[in-house]
Structure 1
Amino acid sequence: MKTSILRHPSLAALLLALGLGSAQAQNAWIVGQSAPLTGSNAAFGQDIRDGALAYFKSVNAQGGVAGAPIELVTLDDQNQRETAGENTTKLLQTRGLVALFGYASATLSLDAMPQAEKAGVLFFAPFS
């Protein structure tokens, strides 16, 4: 059973901002994240990632969004600004990436936001 995009208002906003300009059908909604999975803030970064994965799993179990699953690609930044910037560069090279999501701090977002803007990719729900 396909779920209505309206059941997921935050996803609806995200996908409307991203997908309306694209004539191509999405096989999956690829969302990128740089988060501290190791290092001094690992527990927090893992919680952000795991919460997103649980929510996306729930949405995907109901048919995804517009019939396509959400896939989260997370790279470990070890709570280091420079690494988060490098991860962002890598993530933006991911084919089909529709958004960057859930960066774990304002500091980790500093280098990511201008890259996302330049690439025309939404920078969605950073923690600050």
Structure 2
Amino acid sequence: MDPKQDSVVDLAAARAARVYRQPEPRAAEPQPRLLRQIYGEILRDERRDQDRSLDDVARAVGMSKQYLSEVERGRKEASSEMMRSVCDALDLPMEQLLSRGIRRITAHRTLRVSRSGGVELCAA
């Protein structure tokens, strides 16, 4: 007789000893960025391109340096009047701020063919 056939297996011990592989956690879907974050990035990029400090631009606008910093980081939503003032201080036409915002919003979108044969616009 084969010794393996006569052995007794403790199923509970075998199950406890078995290492179960945990499923890989799915990567969280990236949250879509808010408009205030996109506009803040554009304003910050423009200010840095001009080699101007937060303090310099904030004084030109008449707001605190801390507030302008929060606007640039997308943490505060400035009124349209404040945005116009910041754009004026940076010699950035408001239309250019808006068009740059549109380009940044749509930069990560792609087209794909759906199963039904149609075309879908998808955020990447």
Q: TM-score range by the shorter chain?
A: under 0.3
Q: Which has the higher strand share?
A: 1
Q: Which has the larger radius of gyration?
A: 2
TM superposition score normalised by structure 1: 0.24
Q: When the two structures are superposed, what TM-score results if normalisation uses the length of structure 2?
A: 0.24
| Structure (1 or 2) with the greater helix fraction | 2
Which structure exhibits the higher relative contact order, with contacts defined as CA atoms closer than 8 Å and separated by 6 or more residues?
1
